[in-house]
Amino acid sequence: MFKNIKELFRLRKVIEEKNVELNNLNNNILELNKEKENRIRNLDNEVNAEVEKLRLEKQDEVFKFSEKIENIKLEISKEAEKIERVENLNNEVEKLEKKLSRENKKLNKIKPLYNSIQYIIEKYKDQDIFKENIEDLILKEKFHDDEIEFNPTIKLKLHCMDVKELRKAFNENEKCINEVLKKYEGRYNTKANATIYKLMVIALKAEQQNILYNLKYGKLEKAVEDVKTTTQKYLDIAAEGNQSIFNTMVKFVNEIEFLFIRAVEIEYEYYIKKEQQKEEQARLREQMRQEAEDRKVLEQQKKQIEKEEEKYKTEMSKVEEALARAEDNEVLEKLKMKLEELQNQLDNVEHKKEDIVKRQNGKAGYVYIISNLGSFGDKTFKIGMTRRLNPQDRVDELGDASVPFVFDVHSFIFSDDAVGLEQKLHNILNDKRTNKINFRKEFFNVSIDELEELVQEIEPTAEFNRTMVAEQYRQTISINEESQVLV
């Protein structure tokens, strides 16, 4: 009994202790909860503060970005205004250019008249040609031939019509002449005077054609003087005829004289170009002649060296025979030295011979660059090689029957290795081949400027003729154009 009571007290004590522990645990839990709440509260505050900070920073960035956008919009607006101003200026410039073009056309129309008037003023600077006393004008160098020869009005072939730029200039000058003729045609009221005027025009044109047709290189001054003599002749005739039309005749003849001289100058430009072409061809022929002479000299040198070679070989044979018979060491040594010296001399001779043979072997020759404007246009060239002494013979063969017009030569390039040089040019221009299947067709689509630059780069000493003469082709075109005009 007593033990049970004791055990009961012990258990009660244990329960009390456990209650105390439980209370302590509850207190600890409360403390932990409070600490947790504080931490959560602090974290919330920190997070909120950080979020606010980020919000403010982003707000500042957004503000700055918005400001940049506004600045960009402002710049775009300014650029748009500039573009608009530039467009307006371009429109103004375009209008001014059109106006300038119109004024230039007007100026070009009156320029021949102005030049003619200036020419007349200069010619008669000592006379007052603007007053009514023009009939008192002193006519210089009076033509005294009583027989006046009127040539028929035929259309003679002029060389300037074969060159595009000269043909254009000549036609423009002819247009000015026709304008002058038309202007004065209406000034003759009577039928007789109009007939005289027409006859004079026919005669003047015939005289002009005759002067142009007989024009030669180096004869420009004579042709100009012939024009002046012709016009002076008609002024002399007018001075002795109907005085009522004399004033008009003087003005007309002097205006037409200026334009006739201009026609002579344009036609003479052809002869200048032709002479330049002749000089270029002459230089090419001289180069080929010199190379032929060099080959002849090489052949003579080769024969001379072969004689020397034979002499050294004969001498060496004698020394070798003596060397085989010699027994004395001193004699043997001298013979060996002699043989070595002869061998060195023979080596030098053979080296010279090899050099000459190399220049005379199958690889030596000419690389030619030719064109055919009438057959292939101005962008197609043939690049080939020939071993002939005169490469023009090969070019002439190519132009005999295979094409309608002859070839123009732009360059003959002599080389010790013409085969290699030809191959080098072909390789460089391989992508520009006209026929990319059959490489024996040696035609290339390339400009004259590219070819000239390539030739100068590979062989700086080679001459290059840029001119496409195409004489037969140009004459054919001119004939066709004249036929169309007649139709």
Residues 169 and 258 in one domain: yes
Check whether residue 15 and residue 100 sit in a common domain.
yes
Closest C-alpha among 102, 114, 119, 112 to residue 174: 112
Of 311, 333, 360, the residue that ends a domain is: 360
378 within domain boundaries: yes
Q: Which of 304, 331, 360 is at the close of a domain?
A: 360
Looking at the structure, tell me whether residues 323 and 211 fall in a common domain: no
Q: Are residues 166 and 38 in the same domain?
A: no
Residues 152 and 238 both lie in one domain: yes
Q: Specify whether 418 is located in the same domain as 379.
A: yes
Does residue 87 sit within a domain?
Answer: yes
* pLDDT for the residue numbered 149: 34
On whether residue 57 sits in a domain, the answer given is yes
Span of 6-10, 126-130, 323-327, 339-343 with lowest mean pLDDT = 126-130
Q: Is residue 134 part of a domain?
A: no
pLDDT at 130: 47
pLDDT of residue 408: 93
Which of residues 125, 153, 177 is at a domain's end? 125
Is there a domain that residue 135 lies in?
A: no
**Looking at the structure, do residues 97 and 160 belong to the same domain, yes or no?**
no
Q: Structural domain tally of the chain? A: 4
**Residue 347 burial by Cβ neighbours in a 10 Å radius (0-12, 13-18, 19+):** exposed
Q: Is 138 part of any domain?
A: no
Same domain, yes or no: 148 and 224: yes
- The reply to whether 432 and 470 lie within a common domain is yes
pLDDT given at position 368 = 94
Same domain as 181, residue 164:
yes
| pLDDT given at position 359 | 59
Q: What are phi and psi of 436, to 5 degrees?
A: -90, 5
What pLDDT score was predicted for residue 360?
A: 63
Q: Which domain holds residue 208?
A: 143-281
Q: Tell me, yes or no, whether 271 and 210 share the same domain.
A: yes
Predicted TM-score of the model (pTM) = 0.39
Residue 478 is assigned to a structural domain of this protein: yes
> Is residue 133 a part of any domain in this protein?
no
Across the beta sheet with 443-445, what order do the strands follow? Answer: 408-415, 365-371, 380-386, 443-445
pLDDT digits (tens, 9 = 90+) for 113-162: 566 666 666 665 555 544 444 444 444 433 333 333 333 445 667 778 77
**What is the distance between the alpha carbons of residues 356 and 287, in angstroms, rounded to a whole number?**
20
Report the distance separating Cα 259 and Cα 266, nearest Å.
11
Cα 282 from Cα 288, distance rounded (Å): 10
Q: Which of 26-30, 162-166, 303-307, 381-385 has the highest mean pLDDT?
A: 381-385
244/294 same-domain check: no
Identify which has the larger pLDDT, 233 or 360: 233
